[in-house]
């Protein structure tokens, strides 16, 4: 069985197992998703969803965040961890959106990654969820599960992103990555995979 065949089987198995493939971060606008994703680094999505309502009440868009008081932003996001760096990034990315992109969150990976604190993982999430373009969000769940499936033997997220783009049907790639998160939390966990209860057990190459 080829890697492309395994990828196709994985897409269908996860689609059946998790029909509702949605981002677990709460947001109403592209800007709010960008902010929430930046806050989610080294922090649970559940914690981010607790923090963002108050943050977005005061700073709902790039214009308001660009003018925010740094100490106030730190106070609002403190429980997310690494709040000093994150607060600076939120303000700087907002200034860039305002000054370089007319207040609109950019649509391409290349433009998004020019923003402070935004890497390819975040950029792909925005491109996929907001602008509905093919995207591959390579987080820890994606890295772990696709490696166990035998789709690659890489550790570098950028290399994995390119490999998966070549294996996944473009129209399925974004939802596939959301489903990997759900599966990673429920079944294919980091310490040990629960293979006997896995919907991909029949074709997974690297059971752990």
Q: Which residues are catalytic?
A: 121, 139
What span, in angstroms and rounded, lies between the C-alpha atoms of 157 and 121? 8
Alpha carbon 65 to its chain's center:
22
Which ranges in 101-171 belong to alpha helices (H)?
109-112, 120-129, 140-149, 157-167
**How many CB atoms sit inside 10 A of residue 130's CB?**
18
Helix or strand or coil: residue 193?
strand
Sign of dihedral through CA atoms 138, 143, 149, 153? Answer: positive
Please calculate the CA angle 37-198-173 and round it to the nearest 5 degrees: 40
Q: In 3-state terms, what secondary structure has residue 81?
A: coil
CA 60 to chain centre: 21
Looking at residue 80, the DSSP 8-state letter turns out to be G
CA 205 to chain CA centroid, Å, is: 25
CB distance 68 to 92 below 8 Å: no
């Amino acid at each position: 069985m080829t890697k492309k065949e395994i990828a196709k089987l994985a897409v269908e198995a996860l689609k059946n197992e998790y029909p509702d493939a949605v981002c677990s971060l709460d947001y109403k606008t592209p800007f709010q998703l960008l902010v929430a994703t930046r806050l989610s680094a080294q922090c649970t999505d559940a914690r981010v969803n607790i923090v963002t309502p108050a943050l977005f009440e005061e700073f709902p868009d790039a214009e308001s965040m660009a003018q925010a008081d740094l100490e106030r932003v730190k106070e609002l996001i403190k429980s997310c961890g690494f709040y000093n760096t994150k607060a600076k990034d939120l303000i700087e990315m907002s200034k860039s959106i305002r000054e370089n992109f007319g207040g609109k969150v950019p649509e391409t990976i290349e433009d998004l990654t020019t923003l402070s604190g935004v890497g390819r993982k975040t950029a792909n999430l925005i491109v996929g969820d907001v602008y509905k373009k093919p995207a591959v969000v390579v987080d820890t769940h994606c890295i772990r599960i696709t490696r166990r499936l035998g789709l690659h033997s890489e550790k570098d997220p950028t290399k994995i992103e390119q490999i998966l783009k070549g294996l996944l049907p473009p129209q399925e790639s974004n939802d596939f990555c959301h489903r990997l998160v759900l599966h990673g939390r429920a079944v294919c966990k980091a310490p040990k995979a629960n293979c006997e209860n896995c919907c991909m057990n029949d074709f997974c190459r690297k059971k752990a």
